[in-house]
Structure 1
């Protein structure tokens, strides 16, 4: 048995045993109601029965119009333990967009919430011959609503797909893309969320699951049954429900990202409400030193930041509590050190030559679970003498202003230093003379007077070289964000009016 086959078998066995171990005990809390392990496995059995009736073979791809709900969680867990290939379809789009994804991916069957079975989605399944299965928390909980026709088009002749998940990228620059994550790599994905732990006490606080299942949220979903722990499932992150779960179940650690930290600060959550949290691992975006300092000063909770990407099936670098205790004060801008089973190097963007300690270049990583292949990113990074990795921005996001290269992250740091600004996003927009120019959108702090565009531009002129100063700044109540709460650069660029 190969290393990859062994890793896949180990993951499948652990997840199946973890889920089966709940029985009639609480397994998933959703909308403040607990569902037992038997409830979850009941969904798996009913969905599997409908697939069998439709003649769907275990090796054929299934599409899930994915939502953070109990039936969808059950379907994903069941399909992984059955070694089925699964394609995630974004539910945070129009009915026409869902239909278009079905026609492009051409799954043999589609699982979707009853409310997502609109006329365009039904018609798309009919056109590609896919069976359609509706799931719901109400009766009937699982129901076939499109019989499927295996004689249509490519469905009958489909080439079998490697078991695993085709998950969605975050979609900050446009429509999310799909990245295949084989079962052999999902074990690495889970361990990036559990800190390397493989077992937990059943009475431990539950895992909090709130990132979208279609992308990074799959790590949170799998972590709970992998460890044999309960989970509290939120369809979307809200401060109220997240804080309620932390207080109710005395949660000691849970993953966060920068926007969540800002929302907690903005809501002025009392320090005592988060007193059980020992630390917060985080990622899914850069953590500005000012935000880190403000949050840690306000709540006294260490932030253990990590770096990863969908292409790596999780994190490649991270902090541990032990590293934080020793280096947290001196390396606050770092994303930690490479995880076990991961190698990182920095290379020259043109020659590909490996660069030295402290030099900035493109980050490459080799993840053992994905095979002996170095994967190059578009992220600019450096590695110091202690092995700590610092990410400096995206090389492909550079704005070319008349031949001058400008990193959006460099510009973004300036408005974030303004006392009335909570968050900011900088993008390049077209210019007939210079090719591209920087444009910014800022989200003000709610407790401060709203800054004007003129005030912000004056502030930036004091902070930045003249060619870095944005040509315009939009002051918005909230930055446009995707389901993972990341700022959408395409939507920010659409705010520019060409003044």
Structure 2
């Protein structure tokens, strides 16, 4: 078994502390010996079919021990994991397999035996290996073994290949390197340490999809730093709160939509009493949600900002930041060590003055000297705190007037009856586009009328910014990472007539 720095670190854990907890799921904790068994047995199975060393392996990544163990096993053997999101239909899985051009795919028996997936593998000669859903790790060949393997480029630094969130443009496949990841994990450990006592290592609760950077980040943290991770297949507020009560972590990690779900579920504040702070990111956080969460649970909410393209988090708020100045709570914090930020004019790329709105650019030492331009509108104050103002590509051109969808949605979230809102551009024959808003109401609150929402908007916005139509929905459509699915939200207006 070939090894590198990360692999050596992981190997030392299962040889020196094999009984140390690594991954929890339900009522069971899997130890580092189990992680080692995943690495050993997976490598044996790949060697048996003569698959080249360090060649990439695709994994249909469900939030289950078998799939997480397989990814950990790949990290420990120097093979890149090409992550395929399981939050799609069999046709979508098959299309990913065909698009990626992979030669080996790991997945559950149900995933690999679905007609569309089986046909895709058979057509392209992809080798399918099933992972054991229960018991000891095993990897069984599901399809005929190739006589020979096609030549492929081997990147010795590659760790994980995954789909980006679109922060720097259209979503695309991106390779995360081992050196950059280890640097990001060391910084994440320092960031989490701001909420922990010296020497303390709180477990993380991993419910975000492993195919997303937020979920993969916590699995990488387990691999690189040994921090135990408790795995959940999906977020359910009551189950999550019970896990917090049992595990007693010093910090919590929730996206804004999950924070709202915890509020709606009327979770007992005593369940979260171990936490010194809650860290949040991945989507806009309304002041109403933040305020209600902090008031109910007496836990400061600290925003951060990151993306797959940056190999994780590049800005964060610390507990001291908001303790010194509560007005900073709407910021996503200052640049992490080794990160630089600048805001530029969208037209000519010139750096704008502090406090002015423009397009955010990021430079991180772990990724090299180049600046990466995002699609996020942002401003940086004189103290270096970054505030986001939506996405430039979400701007709606209403007859020549630019409507920033994120700013309008922020106003709607401030309505006492609104839990969340999606503001979208709808095609219009006369004006080109007009803003419309889909609104999800707070649990147990009388829904407002469209007239009420329009009046509320007019009192806070310019006339051209006010949505021309409001649609009250039971819940906004969301992706697996709890971000609003904007295309699905647009379809709501088409179906509503």
TM-score using structure 1 length: 0.91
Shift of 1:415: 2.0
Please give the alpha-carbon distance, in whole angstroms, between the structure 1 residues aligned to 2:49 and 2:191: 40
Q: Does 1:131 align with 2:127?
A: yes
Please give the alpha-carbon distance, in whole angstroms, between the structure 1 residues aligned to 2:410 and 2:28: 42
Secondary structure (helix, strand or coil) at the match of 2:467 reads coil
Shift of 1:230: 2.3
Shift of 1:334: 1.1
Shift of 1:257: 1.2
Q: Which runs of 5+ in 1 are unaligned?
A: 1-7
* Contact kept? 1:54, 1:131, Cα under 8 Å: no
- Alignment correspondent of 1:116: 111
- Alignment correspondent of 1:320: 318
Q: Does 1:99 align with 2:94?
A: yes
Q: Deviations over 1:241-297 (max 9, x none)?
A: 211111112111132211111111111112211111111122112222222222111
- Alignment correspondent of 2:253: 255
Secondary structure (helix, strand or coil) at the match of 2:474 reads coil
Matching of residues 324-335 of structure 1 within 5 Å: 324-327=322-325, 329-335=326-332
Shift of 1:481: 0.6
Residues 303 and 195 of structure 1: CA distance in aligned 2, closer, same or farther (over 3 Å): farther
Secondary structure (helix, strand or coil) at the match of 2:266 reads coil
- Alignment correspondent of 1:386: 383
- Alignment correspondent of 1:425: 422
* Contact kept? 1:65, 1:110, Cα under 8 Å: yes
* Contact kept? 1:408, 1:426, Cα under 8 Å: yes
Q: 1:445 aligns with which of 401, 423, 442?
A: 442
Matched residue pairs, number? 488
Shift of 1:414: 2.6
Q: 1:23 aligns with which of 3, 18, 27?
A: 18
* Contact kept? 2:11, 2:36, Cα under 8 Å: no
Q: 1:458 aligns with which of 455, 458, 477?
A: 455
Residues 260 and 43 of structure 1: CA distance in aligned 2, closer, same or farther (over 3 Å): same
Q: 1:367 aligns with which of 364, 369, 373?
A: 364
- Alignment correspondent of 2:289: 291
* Contact kept? 1:18, 1:225, Cα under 8 Å: no
Shift of 1:468: 1.5
Shift of 1:233: 0.9
Please give the alpha-carbon distance, in whole angstroms, between the structure 2 residues aligned to 1:183 and 1:473: 47
Q: 2:408 aligns with which of 389, 411, 414?
A: 411
- Alignment correspondent of 1:482: 479
Cα root mean square deviation, aligned:
2.5
Shift of 1:219: 0.6
- Alignment correspondent of 1:3: none
| Greater shift in the superposed pair: 227-236 or 137-146 | 137-146
- Alignment correspondent of 1:303: 301
TM-score using structure 2 length: 0.92
* Contact kept? 1:206, 1:224, Cα under 8 Å: no
Q: Which runs of 5+ in 2 are unaligned?
A: none
* Contact kept? 2:35, 2:72, Cα under 8 Å: no
- Alignment correspondent of 1:5: none
Shift of 1:84: 1.4
Q: 1:157 aligns with which of 151, 161, 179?
A: 151
